[in-house]
Structure 1
Amino acid sequence: MIRSKHLRFSASLAATLGFASLVSLPARAADKVTISQAFQSMLYLPFYVAMDGGFFAGEGVEVTKETAGAPAVALSAVISKSAQYSIHGPEWTAIAASKGAPVNVVANVVNGAAVWIATAPDVTFNDVKDLKGQKIVTGLMPTTSTSLFLKLLKENGLKPEDVEMTQVQLGSEPGPLLAGQAKIAVMYEPGLDQVVAKGMKVVLGFPERYGPYAFSSVSARKDVDPAITQKVVTGMQKAIRFMHAEPEKTIAIAKKQFPNLDPAVVEAAVKRMMREKVYPDSVDISAEALKTGMETQVALGNLSALPDYATFVRRDFIEKSLAAN
Structure 2
Amino acid sequence: MKWKTIGSLLLTGALLLASVGCGAEPAAEKTKIRLSEVIRSVFYAPQYVAIEKGFFKEQGLEVELTTAWGGDKVMTAILSNQADVGLVGAETTVFVHQQGSPEPVVNFAQLTQRDGTFLVARQKIENFDWSMTKGKSIVGSRNGSMPEMVSEFVQRKNGVNPKADNQIIQNISFDNQTAAFASGTGDFYQAFEPAASILEKQGKGYPVISLGKDSGKLPYTVFLAKDSFIKANPNTIQKFTNAIQKAQNWVHNATPQEVADVIAPYFPQVEKDILVSVADRYKKADVWAKDPIIDQEEWENMHTVMRQAGELKTPGPYDKLVNTSFAEKAKQVK
Give the TM-score, by structure 1 length. Answer: 0.86
Trace 1:117-128 onto structure 2 (pairs within 5 A): 117-121=119-123, 126-128=128-130
Trace 1:125-274 onto structure 2 (pairs within 5 A): 126-155=128-157, 156-167=159-170, 168-199=172-203, 200-224=205-229, 225-247=233-255, 248-274=257-283
Q: Once the two structures are superposed, what CA deviation does each residue of 1:286-312 show, in whole Å capped at 9, x if it has no partner?
A: 222222223211222222243222332
Asked if the contact 1:145–1:187 (Cα under 8 Å) also holds between the matched residues in 2, the reply is no
Aligned residue number for residue 73 of structure 2: 73
Aligned residue number for residue 7 of structure 2: none
**Residue identity in the other structure for 2:241:** V
Decide whether aligned partners of structure 1 residues 195 and 91 sit closer, same or farther in structure 2, where only a CA change above 3 A counts: same
Asked if the contact 2:153–2:215 (Cα under 8 Å) also holds between the matched residues in 1, the reply is no
> What's the Cα RMSD here?
2.0
Decide whether aligned partners of structure 1 residues 280 and 159 sit closer, same or farther in structure 2, where only a CA change above 3 A counts: closer
Query: d(CA) in 2 for partners of 1:286 and 1:126?
Result: 31
Aligned residue number for residue 7 of structure 1: none
Aligned residue number for residue 15 of structure 1: none
Query: d(CA) in 1 for partners of 2:36 and 2:301?
Result: 25
How many corresponding residue pairs? 299
Q: Secondary structure at the match of 1:223?
A: helix
**Residue identity in the other structure for 1:121:** Q
**Residue identity in the other structure for 1:143:** S
| Structure number with bigger Rg | 1
Decide whether aligned partners of structure 1 residues 192 and 122 sit closer, same or farther in structure 2, where only a CA change above 3 A counts: closer
Aligned residue number for residue 115 of structure 2: 113
Aligned residue number for residue 8 of structure 2: none
Unmatched runs of 5 consecutive residues or more in structure 2: 1-26
Shift of residue 211, structure 1, vs aligned partner: 2.8
Aligned residue number for residue 287 of structure 1: 296
**Residue identity in the other structure for 1:113:** D
Query: d(CA) in 1 for partners of 2:77 and 2:265?
Result: 26
Decide whether aligned partners of structure 1 residues 279 and 122 sit closer, same or farther in structure 2, where only a CA change above 3 A counts: closer
**Residue identity in the other structure for 1:44:** Y
Aligned residue number for residue 328 of structure 2: 319
Shift of residue 123, structure 1, vs aligned partner: 6.5
Aligned residue number for residue 53 of structure 1: 53
Q: Secondary structure at the match of 1:158?
A: coil
Shift of residue 126, structure 1, vs aligned partner: 4.1
Shift of residue 124, structure 1, vs aligned partner: 8.7
Query: d(CA) in 2 for partners of 1:56 and 1:80?
Result: 24
Q: Once the two structures are superposed, what CA deviation does each residue of 1:266-289 show, in whole Å capped at 9, x if it has no partner?
A: 111111111211111111122222
Asked if the contact 2:130–2:160 (Cα under 8 Å) also holds between the matched residues in 1, the reply is no
Aligned residue number for residue 5 of structure 2: none
Decide whether aligned partners of structure 1 residues 160 and 238 sit closer, same or farther in structure 2, where only a CA change above 3 A counts: same
Shift of residue 208, structure 1, vs aligned partner: 1.5
Shift of residue 82, structure 1, vs aligned partner: 1.9
Shift of residue 141, structure 1, vs aligned partner: 3.9
Query: d(CA) in 2 for partners of 1:145 and 1:319?
Result: 28
Unmatched runs of 5 consecutive residues or more in structure 1: 1-26
**Residue identity in the other structure for 1:245:** N
